[in-house]
Structure 1
C-alpha cells in the first residue's frame, strides 16, 4: 500500500515538473522546446524503471527470509546469584532453576490479585464476592500443612532422662562435698531428681513452639494490610520461589533448614509470610528469649517461634546440662516430625551491617540428628535478607558503648506505632539454592586439608569416618552433638557454618541506600554535586553488574535523591547551589557516620579482598616513597595473607573449599585489568628469557642449580595517577577498621600489671578512638564501633597477645606474661603497624 501511494505521489510530482518545464521552455514568441520535454519524459521513465527494479529485489529478499527456517535466538539470561557451590554440592546444577523464570525480574509478594483464586471458586458465580477481597481469599485458600506439636513427647525421651540423671548425680556430689554434716544420700537424690525434672518441664513449656495454621493465616492477612503502609514492597525472585516449591514437592520427607542473615525482628516474620503464601511449609523458628514478652511472645510462639536463652549457661564455666538437653531433644523431635526449621546462624542481629561470624551450636544439633539417624538428610537453604532502611531503628548507641536496652511490651508497642507512621522503602529476600547436608558433610570429610596458609576458615577434615564415630556417641547435653567434643567435629560444623554465611553474604542484593552510603563514605565524604555522584554510581553499578544482585533501576540521579530522602536529612543533606546544581554530602556527625556505615558495610564485604591487596600496595608505595617500587610477588601475597589474618573476625574472605591465595591472586589481576595498578614492561635479554623458561620446568628441589626464584618473582608496580580516586575508594573500605584496631592496640597499655574488666577496657578503647576523631587525626567517625573492638580483642586473644579469663562471673582482660611490659606492648604495636594501613 505504501508503494502504491509513493507511485501516485511521484506521478503527480512528475506532471508538475513537466508543466514547469513547458512553461520555462516557451520562448518569447510563445513557441515550445519539444526536445527538452522529451528529455524530461525519458528521465521520468528511467526513474520508474529503477524503482521497479528496487521493488522486485526487495520482494525477492522478503521471499527468501520467509522461506528460510527460523534460527533459535539466544537471549542472555539475567545473572542470578545464590547458586550452591559446585564443589561442595556437586549434585546441584543450574538446571534446578527454570530458565524462563531466571530471565524475569523480582516480584512483589504484597501484590495479590484475583488470579490467585482457585479455578473452582472463580467459575462459581456464588463466590464472585470473594474476588472483591483478594487478600482474604488468598489467605483462606493457601495450602494447609500438618504442624504437629512435639513438646509432649520430649519429656519421655531417654536422652533427656539420662541428662537429668547426670545433672542430679553431679549436684549430689557437690552437696556432699560441701556439707559439714552427714546427709541422707537417697533422700537427697530423690529430692534433687524431682527438682530437676520439674525444672525440665518448666524449661520445655517456656521454650516450645505452638505453631498454628490459623494464626499463620490471620497474621498473613494482617501483614498484607499493614506492610504497604510502611514498605514499598517485599520482593523475591520468582526463580527462587519456584525452585523451593519444586524441592519441597520432590523431597517431602526431608526438612528444609532456612539460614537467614539476621538484620531485623521482621526477618523471621517475613520469611514465614513468604513461604506460607507460596504454599511452602512454614518453619519453626529459633528466637531469643528476650522476645518472650507479654502478648508479643505468645503471638510469635503461635507463628512458630521457640525460644532459646541468649546465655545458655547461667554460671560461667559450668554447663547447664538440663537446659542443653531440653533444647537438644526438642529440636531432634521437631526434625523427626518433619518440621522445617529456621534459625539465624549469626546468633543475633548484625550491629554493623556486615555479616557476623557464625554461631554453630544449633547447626550441630541438626548434624547430630543426621548422624544419629533421626533424619535421613536435611536441605540447607541460605537466605539473604536486606532492607533499604532498617525498621528496627539503628544501633548507634550500642556501637558507642552503651548497653542494649531490653525489649518490653511498652517499647514494642511504641516501636510498632513509629514504624507504621514511617517509610522504610523496599525489603528484598533471596532464597539461595538448597543443598544436601549429607552430601556436604561427605565432601568435607573426604576433602584433604585446605592450604595451610589459608587464614580465617578452619581446615576441612581429612578423615571420612568421623561421622560414623560421632553416631555412636549421642549427646545428652552438648549443643555440639557429643559429650566430648572432638576438634574434627567442631571443625566440620564450623566449616559448614562459615560456608553458609559466605553464601548468604555474596547473594545479598545491593539496595539503593547501600550504594549511596558506600559512595559517600568511601569517596565523597566532603560531598559533591549530584551529577558527579551519579557518574560514580553508574561506575559502581557497572562494577557490580553480573557479580552482585542490584535491587534498583532507573537514572542514577533519581536513585541518589530517593535514597537520601529515605534515609533522612539527619544522615544525608541535599543543598541547592547558586548555579542551580544540587550538592549532596553526608552529615558531618559521629552518629550519622556510624549509621551510614551500617548501610555501606553491605558492600564493604564485597570489596574486602580487593581492598586488602590495594592497601598493601599503598603501604609499600608509602614506604618506598617513589612512583614505582619493586617487590617480590610472593612477598606481596604473604603480606596480604597477614592482613587477612588480622581481619579474620571482620570478614569471611573465602569459603572453606577455596584457597585464599587463589582469591588474592584474582584480586591482584582484577586491579591490573581495571587500571588501578600497572606493571611496567621490562626489557629482558634473550639469555634471561631462556633461563626463566628453563627454571619454570624445574622442581622446588632444583634451586641448587644456580637459579634464584626470587629474581623471577620480582615485579615493578606503578600506581597510575588517573586511577587515584578509585584507589582511594578501596583504601577507604578498610581504613575505619584499621583505625579501630590501632586504637585497641594503643589501649593495651592500660592492661599492664593488673588488667581490666572487659567492659572497662572497651570504654578505654572507645575513649581512645573518640579523641582521635574529635582531634581530626581520624576522619572516620564510624571507627567508633564496639563490635569492631571486640573482634580485634578476639584476634589478639587467638594470637596469644592477651588473655580473657572469668572471675566471679566477670570477664577479665589481661596481657600475656610475655607482653606485660612496655617493650612487649611496643612489640605488639610495631607488629600490627607493619601490616595495617590507616
Structure 2
C-alpha cells in the first residue's frame, strides 16, 4: 500500500511539472506546437497504463494475502475472563490466583506444542534440537512431569466401613430368609454362606469399578491425541489464565485434591479434560464413568487413563438399597481422595440430550463432602468446568428425543463411530476451567445461612443472617450421601453446592459459531432469510452478549455464518443463491429442528430470565387482565412478579434461574430493567427507575418498627408500553420459551389418558409424543423441537411435585397415574386451566 501511494504521489508531481512546462511553453511561444501536444498526450497515456498496471499488481497482492491468511472465524478471543469464583459464597482469591497479564491474553490452542507451555521448550544441544524439530510431540510427551498415581483398590477391602456394610447386608438377608423359612432353618450355616457370597461380590464389584491409571498410558495417549485430533478438529481451545490458576492452586496445596466438575456433552469429555490437564503438568484425575462404557478394549483403555466405572442405577431393586455396592463405591472414593488423587465426575450424571445443562446429581459430591466432614481430607478445591463444541462428535440425540430407546455402547459401534469421526470435520472444542474454590470455606459460608434461596448480597443483610448452626456428621454405610439423609440440612447443603456448580458452568460456557447461528434461526428466522439480514442480527447478538458471555469467535459476521453453515452441513441448514442474494434456511423437517435446538439451547439459558419476564408481560397484556390507556398497559408490579415466579417454578426442572446465594425477585427486577434499557418495553413513570428498584430492595429489609425514619415505597401500579421498534427482539424472547410451553401443554392434554387407570411411564411418554407430533403436523405448533422426551419427563416431575400425578414403582416398572383429587374430568380441566394461566406462546 505504501508503494502504491508513493507511485501516485510521483505521478501527481510529474503531472504538475508537465503542466508547468506547458504553461511556460505557452507563455514563451504564445501557442503550443503539434509535436509538443502529441508528446504530452503520449506521456499521459503512458502514465495511465503504468497506473493501471500498478493497481493490478496491488490487487493481486491483496488477493494473495487474503488467500494465505487464515479465516478470522477460526480465531478465538476472550479478552474478558469469565469463570471467577462467587464473591458471596466463596470470596474470590483473584489477587492470589489470577495473573492479570495472562487474563488479558487471547486463548490458546492446546494442540500446538510450544505455544502454550514455554517451560517445556528447552535448549539442550544441537542433537536434541534436531530431534525436537523432527519429533516435537514425542519430545513434549517425554518431558511431561511424572506424578505419583497410587492404586488404592487393595486397601478398600480391608476398610472397616466396607466390612461393616457387608455385616449389615448379611444380617438383613439372613433375617429375610429366616422369616420365610420353616423350623429347620440353620441360621449359622446360612450366615456363613451369605457372608462368603457378599465378600466375593464386594471383591468382584471392586475389580469391575477400580481405575488403573497409568503414567505411561497417559503419555502414549497424549501422543496419539496430538496426532489424531487435528484430523477432525481445528483446535482445542483454553484460556492461559485458567490454566495458570489451576497450577497455582495445585502448587500451593499439593496434598489437597482438585475436584473437576464438567458439564457433560460428549464421550470425548473424559479424555480431553485429562489430556489438557496432564499436558499442562497438572495431575490427571481419576474419572467417574458410567459402566455402559466398560466394553472390550475401550473400557480397558479408559480405565488406564483414569476411569473408574460406576453403575447408572445403584439400587437394582426399587425401594431396597444395595448396601454393599454403595459401601464399595463410597470407600473406594474415600481412599482415592486420601491418596491425594484428583477426581473428575460429571455433576449432571449423564450427557445432556438437549444442549442445556441438566439438573445436578448430588450423590458423588456428597461422598466428597462426607470425606471432608469425617477428616479423611483436610479440604478439596472444586473446579467447575465448562465444555462446548462447535459440532458434537457423538452424533445427535434426535432419536432419543423422539421417544426411541438409547442404543447401548458396543465395540463394533464404537469402532464405526471413531472411523466416521476421523473422516469428518467438527470445528473447535472450547474448555473453560472456572476458578478453584475451597469446599471447606464454602461449607462454612453455607452453614451460616438459614435460607439458602433467599439471600440478599448486601453487607448489612449478611450480618443479620449469620448464625452458629453446624452440620452434624453421622457416618453410614447404607447411603451414598454419607448419612442416611434424615438430616435435611445436609441434603440442602449438598444440593445447593451442586446447583451452584452447574449454574457457574452454564454461565461460563462459551458461545460457539454454531450456537449463535442456530439460536438466530430458531428464534427469529425459522423460514430463513438473506445472509445480510442474518449478519445484522448476529452483529446485534454479539453486542448483547459482549462483556457478559464469552464469545469464542471473531471476524466478519458474514464469514462466521458461512463457516457455521458449512460445519453443520446441508442436512440442517441450506445456503442458496437466488437473484444475486445468498439465502440461509434451516431444513424444514422435525429431525433437523430438534438437532438445531441442541446448539441453540446453549444460548437459551442466557436469555431465559428475560424471556420469562417478557412472556409474562405479553401474557398479561394479551389476556386483557390489565387496563390499557394511551400511555400503555397498567400492571401491578406484585402481580407481574408473582406470575413470573410461577412461570419459573413451572420450569424448575428445565432451567437453573438463579444461584442458591441469589434471590429470584432481585434477578427478575434486573431483567425488567434490562428489557427497558434495550427498548423492548418502556415504563413512562419516573417512579419505576433503577434507583427506585434498588431503594425498594434496600428498605424492604428494615423492620416496619424501625425508628430510622425511612419510608418504604408503596406504589405498585406501573404502566408498560411496548414500542414498535422492539417487536423483533420480543419475538426472539418469546421463541426461547415457546417450545417448552407447547410441550408442557401437550403433556397436560395427554393427562386424559390416565383417568381411571394408570399407564407405564414409557406408554405415557408415547402418548405425549403422539400428541405434540399431531400438533406440529397440523400446524398448530410451529416448533418441531417441542417433540422432546426430556422436556416431557421434566414436566412429569413438575406435575408429580405439584401433586397432580403420582408415580409408583411396581416390580421395577414406573407407573404414572392421576392423583385421587384430579382423577376425573373436572380435575384434568382444573390442571389445564392452572398451567394455561401461566404459559404463553
**TM-score, structure 2 as length reference:** 0.87
What's the secondary structure of 1:287's corresponding residue? strand
- Give the match for residue 365 of structure 1: 367
Tell me the CA shift for residue 185 of structure 1: 0.9
Task: Sort the Cα spacing of 1:555 and 1:452 in 2 relative to 1 into closer, same or farther, 3 A.
Answer: closer
What are the equivalent positions in structure 2 for 1:267-306 lying under 5 Å apart? 267-306=269-308
- Give the match for residue 608 of structure 1: 608
Tell me the CA shift for residue 487 of structure 1: 0.8
Which moved further from structure 2: 148-157 or 744-753? 744-753
Listed one character per residue, the Cα deviations across residues 528-561 of structure 1 (whole Å, up to 9, x for unaligned) are 0000000000000000010000011111111111
What are the equivalent positions in structure 2 for 1:18-167 lying under 5 Å apart? 78-93=79-94, 96-113=97-114, 122-123=124-125, 125=127, 128-167=130-169
Which moved further from structure 2: 383-392 or 710-719? 710-719
Asked whether the equivalents of residues 254 and 378 of structure 1 are also in contact (C-alpha less than 8 Å), the reply is: yes
Runs of 4+ in structure 1 displaced over 6 angstroms?
16-27, 460-463, 696-700, 708-711
2:418 to 416, 426, 429: 416
Match status 1:721 vs 2:721: no
What's the secondary structure of 1:624's corresponding residue? coil
Q: Distance in 2 between matches of 1:173 and 1:17?
A: 120
- Give the match for residue 556 of structure 1: 557
- Give the match for residue 529 of structure 1: 530
Q: Distance in 1 between matches of 2:297 and 2:468?
A: 49
Tell me the CA shift for residue 19 of structure 1: 13
Match status 1:660 vs 2:660: no
Tell me the CA shift for residue 677 of structure 1: 0.2
- Give the match for residue 636 of structure 2: 632
Listed one character per residue, the Cα deviations across residues 240-260 of structure 1 (whole Å, up to 9, x for unaligned) are 111111111111011000000
Listed one character per residue, the Cα deviations across residues 213-257 of structure 1 (whole Å, up to 9, x for unaligned) are 000000000000100000010010011111111111111011000
Task: Sort the Cα spacing of 1:440 and 1:179 in 2 relative to 1 into closer, same or farther, 3 A.
Answer: same
Task: Sort the Cα spacing of 1:811 and 1:26 in 2 relative to 1 into closer, same or farther, 3 A.
Answer: closer
Listed one character per residue, the Cα deviations across residues 26-54 of structure 1 (whole Å, up to 9, x for unaligned) are 99xxxxxxxxxxxxxxxxxxxxxxxxxxx
Match status 1:651 vs 2:655: yes
Asked whether the equivalents of residues 78 and 551 of structure 2 are also in contact (C-alpha less than 8 Å), the reply is: no
Listed one character per residue, the Cα deviations across residues 628-687 of structure 1 (whole Å, up to 9, x for unaligned) are 211111111111111100001000000000000000000000000000001134899xxx
Q: Distance in 1 between matches of 2:580 and 2:444?
A: 64
Task: Sort the Cα spacing of 1:194 and 1:727 in 2 relative to 1 into closer, same or farther, 3 A.
Answer: same
Q: Distance in 1 between matches of 2:144 and 2:251?
A: 15
Asked whether the equivalents of residues 485 and 491 of structure 2 are also in contact (C-alpha less than 8 Å), the reply is: no
Q: Distance in 2 between matches of 1:227 and 1:138?
A: 16
Tell me the CA shift for residue 99 of structure 1: 1.2
Listed one character per residue, the Cα deviations across residues 816-835 of structure 1 (whole Å, up to 9, x for unaligned) are 11111111111111011111
Q: Distance in 1 between matches of 2:467 and 2:490?
A: 11
Tell me the CA shift for residue 699 of structure 1: 8.1
Task: Sort the Cα spacing of 1:632 and 1:285 in 2 relative to 1 into closer, same or farther, 3 A.
Answer: same
Match status 1:334 vs 2:359: no
- Give the match for residue 236 of structure 2: 234
Listed one character per residue, the Cα deviations across residues 77-113 of structure 1 (whole Å, up to 9, x for unaligned) are 9211100100011152355211111111111000114
Match status 1:188 vs 2:187: no
Listed one character per residue, the Cα deviations across residues 134-153 of structure 1 (whole Å, up to 9, x for unaligned) are 00000111111000000000
Asked whether the equivalents of residues 357 and 498 of structure 1 are also in contact (C-alpha less than 8 Å), the reply is: yes
Task: Sort the Cα spacing of 1:124 and 1:648 in 2 relative to 1 into closer, same or farther, 3 A.
Answer: same
Which moved further from structure 2: 240-249 or 588-597? 240-249
Q: Distance in 2 between matches of 1:25 and 1:718?
A: 80
Task: Sort the Cα spacing of 1:671 and 1:160 in 2 relative to 1 into closer, same or farther, 3 A.
Answer: same
Listed one character per residue, the Cα deviations across residues 787-821 of structure 1 (whole Å, up to 9, x for unaligned) are 00000000111111111111111111111111111
Q: Which has the higher Rg, Structure 1 or Structure 2? A: 1
Q: Distance in 2 between matches of 1:143 and 1:116?
A: 14
Q: Distance in 2 between matches of 1:715 and 1:376?
A: 53
2:677 to 673, 679, 694: 673
Match status 1:391 vs 2:388: no
Task: Sort the Cα spacing of 1:751 and 1:263 in 2 relative to 1 into closer, same or farther, 3 A.
Answer: same
What's the secondary structure of 1:146's corresponding residue? coil
Listed one character per residue, the Cα deviations across residues 458-498 of structure 1 (whole Å, up to 9, x for unaligned) are xx99875443x21xx22213111113441111000000000
Listed one character per residue, the Cα deviations across residues 127-183 of structure 1 (whole Å, up to 9, x for unaligned) are 632331000000111111000000000000000000000000000000000113421
Q: Distance in 1 between matches of 2:714 and 2:103?
A: 50
Task: Sort the Cα spacing of 1:743 and 1:281 in 2 relative to 1 into closer, same or farther, 3 A.
Answer: same
Tell me the CA shift for residue 121 of structure 1: 5.5
- Give the match for residue 170 of structure 2: 168
Which moved further from structure 2: 798-807 or 336-345? 798-807
Q: Distance in 1 between matches of 2:677 and 2:119?
A: 53
Which moved further from structure 2: 385-394 or 96-105? 96-105
Q: Distance in 1 between matches of 2:130 and 2:21?
A: 72
Q: Distance in 2 between matches of 1:751 and 1:536?
A: 45
Aligned length: 766
Tell me the CA shift for residue 208 of structure 1: 0.1
What is the RMSD of the two structures over their aligned residues, measured on CA atoms?
3.1
Tell me the CA shift for residue 306 of structure 1: 0.1
1:205 to 191, 204, 207: 207
Q: Distance in 2 between matches of 1:77 and 1:765?
A: 43
- Give the match for residue 617 of structure 2: 617
**TM-score, structure 1 as length reference:** 0.87
Q: Distance in 2 between matches of 1:23 and 1:525?
A: 72
What's the secondary structure of 1:728's corresponding residue? helix
1:731 to 726, 731, 734: 734
Gaps of 5+ in 1: 1-5, 28-75, 455-459
Tell me the CA shift for residue 451 of structure 1: 5.4
Q: Distance in 2 between matches of 1:373 and 1:763?
A: 49
Q: Distance in 2 between matches of 1:141 and 1:698?
A: 59
Gaps of 5+ in 2: 1-8, 31-76, 457-463
Task: Sort the Cα spacing of 1:300 and 1:461 in 2 relative to 1 into closer, same or farther, 3 A.
Answer: farther
What are the equivalent positions in structure 2 for 1:342-353 lying under 5 Å apart? 342-353=344-355
Q: Distance in 1 between matches of 2:744 and 2:573?
A: 27
Q: Distance in 1 between matches of 2:576 and 2:398?
A: 25
What's the secondary structure of 1:122's corresponding residue? coil
Match status 1:775 vs 2:815: no
- Give the match for residue 49 of structure 1: none
What's the secondary structure of 2:815's corresponding residue? strand
What's the secondary structure of 1:90's corresponding residue? coil
Task: Sort the Cα spacing of 1:465 and 1:172 in 2 relative to 1 into closer, same or farther, 3 A.
Answer: farther
Task: Sort the Cα spacing of 1:147 and 1:298 in 2 relative to 1 into closer, same or farther, 3 A.
Answer: same
Q: Distance in 2 between matches of 1:545 and 1:739?
A: 31
Q: Distance in 1 between matches of 2:687 and 2:391?
A: 55
